[in-house]
Structure 1
Amino acid sequence: MPENYIAEQRFNKEDFTLRSLSKAEYENCKFIGCNFSSSDLSGVKFLDCEFISCNLSLADLTKTTFNEVSFNDCKMLGLRFESCNDFGLAFHFDNCKINHSSFYKLKIKKTNFRNSQLHEVDFSECDLSNSIFDNCDLLSATFDKTILEKADFKTAYNYSIDPDNNRIKKAKFSQSGLAGLLTKYDILISQ
């Protein structure tokens, strides 16, 4: 293996704002309580890795590879996921703050967002087919020409999705969330 290949390592409470994470391919690694805030992660490859209680806010994700990566309890503000390497791009989020981030034009089918805050996130022209937004706060998130076919919004809230401007065939919504599909009509709905 090349020397820039790191497998099955644990990184605990490391501050990568002080010294950069080595440009390498990381496979089956765990990053626990690490600070990547404003770090340069460009060109780094993460395969089957787990980020737990990390801060990745404003990190540079240019050509970063995320292949089957899970983020748990992470702070991820202002990330430009569309800058990532889109080949094999697959990740899952649980209990994360992903506010002010962008997934513009990405194909991220079957992505799970659970118990996460996604305020002002840009999902424009994104393919989110079969994705799940379980107990997610989508306040002021942008859905514009987004593919949401078979996506699950049953427990999501604060979303505003225009059915005329997005593909929502067979998407799942709760009765209480239907108001989020009617926002553009400026009507009042009472319970």
Structure 2
Amino acid sequence: MRKFQQNLSNFKSGDFSSLQHKFVLNEIIEDKNFSGYYFNRVKFFNCSFRAVNFAELDGSSLIFCNCQFNDTSFYKAELIEIHFQNCQFINCNFRSSWLGSVSYMNCQLNNIDFICADFLWCKFEKSQLFEIYFDASTIEDLTIKNSTLKDIKFNYIFVLKVVPKNCISTLKEFRIENYNQFLIEFVKEESC
């Protein structure tokens, strides 16, 4: 992988195909609209995204390490195999997004909108989740492990779960009714 030599703030239109198989280091991207773009196989290190619009983004195989996201929108984004590590999210919007194999490792998330999002094989690990809105989301295999949770909103979360019975797997759908059920279904703690 080679470092990307151009400042992302200079992007005017098009997509991120020139970034494929590169890494982006120490960039500050502010007030940019990357709505509807496609990019994959990019690594971002120590980058800051402020008031950036990634609405309807199609992103896959991306890594974000030590990045900050402030007032950033991923509205209706399709994110596949995205790894966020040591990242901070403040006032971000993932509303109506499709999140497949997205992981948040050692991240801080504060006031995040996941309303109407679809989660498939996602995890939050060793993270802090404050004021998170999961309302009306559909979840298939979400794990929250060794994390701190405060002010989690989850009205009308639907869970899809594959249940094996008599050597036949069936897809079961149910709704999360209360906070204890939310904890039992999604929160896992490792013992030392």
The alignment's TM-score, normalised by the length of structure 2, stands at 0.69
Aligned residue number for residue 149 of structure 1: 150
Q: Provide the residue aligned with 2:36 in structure 1.
A: 33
Question: Structure 1 30/105 Cα, relative in aligned 2: closer, same or farther at 3 Å?
Answer: same
Displacement after TM superposition at 1:159 (Å) = 7.6
Q: Which residue of 1 aligns with 2:177?
A: 178
Return closer, same or farther for 1:104/1:18 CA change in 2, 3 Å cut-off: closer
Contact 1:99 1:119 in 2 (8 A): yes
- AA matched with 1:63: N
Please name the residue that 1:126 is paired with.
127
Does the CA contact (< 8 Å) of 2:44 and 2:67 recur in 1?
yes
Q: Evaluate the alpha carbon distance shift between residue 46 and residue 127 of structure 1 in structure 2; reply closer, same or farther with a 3 A threshold.
A: same
Deviates more, 1:137-146 or 1:18-27: 18-27
**Are the aligned partners of 2:86 and 2:105 in contact in 1 as well (CA < 8 Å)?**
no
Q: What do the CA deviations read for 1:56-107 (whole angstroms, capped 9, x no partner)?
A: 21112123332221102211111111243x3xx3222022111211112322
Residues of 2 paired with 1:151 and 1:183: CA distance? 10
CA distance in 2, matches of 1:4, 1:183: 43
In the alignment, which residue of structure 2 is the partner of 1:71?
A: 74
Counterpart check, 1:61 vs 2:68: no
Q: CA deviation at 1:148?
A: 2.9
Query: CA 1:17–1:55 in structure 2 vs 1: closer, same or farther (change >3 Å)?
Result: farther
2:109 and 2:21 map into 1 onto residues whose CA distance is 31
Contact 2:81 2:102 in 1 (8 A): yes
The verdict on how the C-alpha distance between 1:154 and 1:35 changes in structure 2, with shifts beyond 3 A counting, is same
C-alpha distance in 2, partners of 1:40/1:149?
Answer: 30
Residue 52, structure 1, aligned to residue 55, structure 2: yes
TM-score normalized by structure 1? 0.70
Q: Which residue identity does 2:126 align to in structure 1?
A: E
AA in 2 matched with 1:148: L
- The structure-2 alpha-carbon separation of the partners of 1:181 and 1:62, relative to structure 1 and needing over 3 Å to count, comes to same
- The answer to whether the Cα contact below 8 Å between 2:159 and 2:175 also exists between their aligned partners in 1 is no
Unaligned runs of 5+ in 2: 1-5, 162-173, 186-192
CA contact 1:52–1:71 (8 Å) conserved in 2: yes
Root mean square deviation, CA, Å:
3.3
Letter in 1 for 2:13: F
For residues 14 and 80 of structure 2, what CA distance do their matches in structure 1 show? Answer: 21
Aligned to 1:163: none
Answer 1 or 2: which has greater strand percent.
2
Q: Which runs of 5+ in 1 are unaligned?
A: 161-174, 186-191
| Distance change in 2, residues 1:11/1:64 (3 Å) | farther
Separation in 1, partners of 2:42, 2:109: 24
SS in 1 for 2:176: helix
